[in-house]
Every structure is written in structure tokens, then in C-alpha cells.
Amino acid sequence: MTVEVRDGVAAARGDASFGVNAGELCMKGFSAAETLGHPERLLHPLVRRDGVLVEASWDDALDAAADGFRAIAAAKGNDAIASFGSGALTNEKVYVLGKFARLALQTANFDYNGRFCMSSAAAAANRSFGIDRGLPFPLAWLGDADVLLLAGGNPLDTMPPLERYLTQQRANGARIVVDPRATAFAAGATLHLQAAPGTDAILAYALLHVLIAERRTDDAYIAARTTGFAEVRRRAEEISPERAERRTGVPADDIVAAARLLAGARRALILTARGVEQHGNGTDCATAYINLALALGLPGRTGSGYGTLTGQGNGQGGREHGQKSDQLPGYGSVDDPVDVERVARAWNVPPALVSRRGLSGAEILDALGSRIAALFVAGSKPVVSAPRSCARRCRVSTISSSAISFSPRRRRMRTSCCRPCNGPRNTAR
């Protein structure tokens, strides 16, 4: 992106010289500069005094935040403070936020809203590959794929800059879309597998069933580069296309046709997105599609592979640069002594400060008002996006990177953005 100012007005443009998006932006990108002059934009910190947020100097606001953190840490311990970041933050901000939580707040409890986004796919990738890498191949491969299977995504709406790659792919090959919705992206598919919500893993295993039954798996690849296939095979053999049709609603003939398209492709890509991953068993759903890709021998093959499309602009970077309490900058793990020593040496601190595993994002929000007494929020809005936010937000004093506030009185924590605390609550998890 580039930002230019004409007649005192800022405007964002796509950078035509950048190879990935070639000047294209989504609506969020095109409208980004509008926030600079928006009449509701905060220009000063706010501090709550006598129940009302009032403008304050940066010195006063930062002192209020620091004093509040110190008081809570002294009374309840450092782990009573938590940080909650965002996939919308840049790599640099993510890195500083994770370091701030570990070294300044000295808390083990920090995470980001990616836990509600693609973290189930990240967990699946760690389980299968030993590394969390959302899209481990160039976007240009999308355009060259003979067959593209995308489960649970609608990139024409959510990632418009990908359209040129997707248009190229559809002109040259076949597209398989797994989605209960009849989206514009699904309308252009060779096969639209309209699986009932919650049946994504069943469909993936049914596709694998066909590959096994028709001897279309890459047995040499499986033998040389994978482990545990026998158990996966037993699972897949239980789910025939006919059985899957009864569970998913997808015709058995379409399941067979999709499996054959994948097996016959020279370059095939399997992608998952939020529709597959945001289930109670989202990690298992993503793992099922990874297993399908491995059975075909796709990962590690030029032009082929498995990947997941991120939900926010920097959901991947949020984990790569240490915004989660179980991960260290550079894909490190708090459970790996080598990774811990590397980061501790770079920061010149004792390893104990960087080796603790804290609560996950969902666990942090569930612990507000009990184990967690203060929450530092950067670039996210859990009051709107988190389930059961009405109940949660009335149990905690909140410090925000854009509006700093302390208020122990529940009635004054309420705002007009959701139902009153005694009203119906969203209990979806």
C-alpha cells in the first residue's frame, strides 16, 4: 500500500509495483486512510475519572496504566494481568507486544484474536508438519494449479486481491469448493460440494476413501515421508461416499468426481479457511484435509500443497513474531530449550522469563474477573467479537491501547454496543 495526501486529504492506494497484489486492495485497504480524518477518531488518551472517560495527557494516561498494573501485580501477582492482541497488528507491533508482556508485565498470559481465527489450522499444521505455516507457497501457485480445492472460504468477498490468481486458475483448471453457502466463488466452481455445516471432516475422509479404494494414493510418498497412515486409512475406509452423502448432503457421485479430479492433477492445491476451522473440532477438520493432501503427496511438490487462508491481514505474523504465550519470535516454542535459549540470549534475560506457557485467548477471556484482574487490549475489540462478551466485560478493569480506563463498578463498564448484562447472551464457543 501507499498513502498519498492531496489537498490535505489522505488516500490509500494499492502499490502497482508490488508483485503480490499488483495494485489491488480490498475495501478495508482502500478505506484505511478515511480513519485519519474521521470525526470520531480519538486524538488524545482517555482516562476514566468518576466513572466518565475524559481526555488526558499521555503522561497522565501512561502513569495511570502503569500504576494500575503495579497495584494489581502487587496484590494478585503478575499473572493476574493479561494482554490480548490482534491479527491486524504489524509484525513490529506484534513483536513488541509479546516482549512487553513477557518482560515488562512479566505475565505468562497473553494471546490474540487469532485464537478465534486460524489457530485451529495452526494447531493442525503443528500436529502434522511440526511447524505452523499458514500458506507455505507463493500465491502465484494458485493461478497455475490444475485443481484447486478450497474448503470453507469465499475469497472473492474476503480477499479481492486474490481474484486475478483465482480467475487465472479457473481458466486453466478445475475448482472444487466445499461450502454450505451458494457464494459467488462457489458458483464458478467445477464442483460445489455443499456440505451441511459441521460435516467438513466427514467429507474430507470420504474423499480419501475414494482415493484409497481406487488405488490413487501416492504410496511411495506415504511410505517415505509420513507416519501414522494406517490409522488414517482405517478411519477413511469407514466413510464411504454413500455414507458421507447421508451425513453431509453431498451426492456420492460428486464426492467420487472430486477425488478423481484431485488424483489426476499434476499440480493440486488444497486450502482451508474459517468455515472449516471455526468449529469445536476445527483442528480435526483441518487435519482431515491435511491428511488428504499428504495421501496425494502434495506437500513439498512444486506447484502443489496444503495451506490455510488467513482471516486477518496479519494473522500469521501474529504467531510468527511471538504474540502467543506458547510461541516465541521466529516460530519458536516455549517447550523447546533451544528456542528458549536463543530468545533469552537475544533479549539478555533469564530463560525463565520466556519459557512459561500461559492461558489461551479463550481461557483469558473466560478468566476475566477471577484469575485475570486487568486486560491490556491492542488492536482488537473482544467486547464485540468474543462470545458471551456481555458477561465477561463486566468482570474486569480494562486497559486499552487506544482508550485507557479503570472502573471496578460494573454498571459503568456497560456501553451501547451489546445487550445489558441481564439480557440474552451468545453462548456459542
CATH number of the structural domain spanning residue 151: 3.40.228.10
**Is residue 75 a contact partner of residue 46, using CB atoms and an 8 Å limit?**
no
> Do 157 and 239 lie in a common domain?
yes
Q: How far is CA 43 from CA 36, 39, 57, 89, in A?
A: 10, 10, 11, 19
Of 277, 308, 339, the one marking the end of a domain is: 308
Question: Looking at 19-28, 160-169, 362-371, which range is the least confident one?
Answer: 19-28
pLDDT of res. 409: 32
**What are phi and psi for residue 199, nearest 5 degrees?**
-115, 20
Rounded to the nearest 10 degrees, the angle between the axes of helix 200-213 and helix 252-264 is 60
CA dist 294 and 380 (Å) reads: 35
Q: CB neighbours of 398 closer than 8 A, spacing ≥ 6?
A: 374, 375, 377, 405, 406, 407, 413
**Is residue 407 a contact partner of residue 397, using CB atoms and an 8 Å limit?**
yes
> Do 205 and 144 lie in a common domain?
yes
What is the number of domains present in the chain?
Answer: 3
CA dist 44 and 8 (Å) reads: 21
> Do 301 and 331 lie in a common domain?
no
pLDDT of res. 102: 95
Nearest by Cα to 271 from 226, 229, 305, 311: 305
> Do 339 and 254 lie in a common domain?
no
Report the b/e string of 135-156 with b at 16+ CB within 10 A. Answer: bebebebbbbbbbbbbbbbbbb
**Is residue 82 a contact partner of residue 359, using CB atoms and an 8 Å limit?**
yes
CA dist 355 and 333 (Å) reads: 8
Report if residue 425 sits inside a domain: no
Report if residue 428 sits inside a domain: no
What is the average pLDDT value for the chain, to the nearest integer? 86
CA dist 65 and 419 (Å) reads: 28
| 176 CB burial (10 A radius; 0-12, 13-18, 19+) | buried
Q: CB neighbours of 59 closer than 8 A, spacing ≥ 6?
A: none
Task: Average the pLDDT over 184-200 and give the result.
Answer: 94
For 359-391, how does the pLDDT look when each residue is reduced to its tens digit (9 = 90+)? Answer: 988 899 999 989 999 999 998 888 887 777 665
> Do 148 and 190 lie in a common domain?
yes
> Do 300 and 386 lie in a common domain?
no
pLDDT of res. 311: 72
Q: Could you tell me the residue range of the domain that residue 245 belongs to?
A: 119-308
Position 394 pLDDT exceeds 60: no
229 pLDDT tier (thresholds 50, 70, 90): very high
Report if residue 157 sits inside a domain: yes
Of 255, 274, 308, the one marking the end of a domain is: 308
Position 416 pLDDT exceeds 50: no
> Do 218 and 152 lie in a common domain?
yes
> Do 183 and 274 lie in a common domain?
yes
Q: How far is CA 368 from CA 72, 330, 382, in A?
A: 13, 30, 12
**Is residue 306 a contact partner of residue 290, using CB atoms and an 8 Å limit?**
yes
> Do 126 and 96 lie in a common domain?
no
242 pLDDT tier (thresholds 50, 70, 90): very high
| 239 CB burial (10 A radius; 0-12, 13-18, 19+) | buried
For 127-151, how does the pLDDT look when each residue is reduced to its tens digit (9 = 90+)? Answer: 898 887 778 899 889 999 999 999 9
CA dist 238 and 250 (Å) reads: 17
pLDDT of res. 24: 86
> Do 155 and 266 lie in a common domain?
yes
The amino acid that residue 214 corresponds to is E
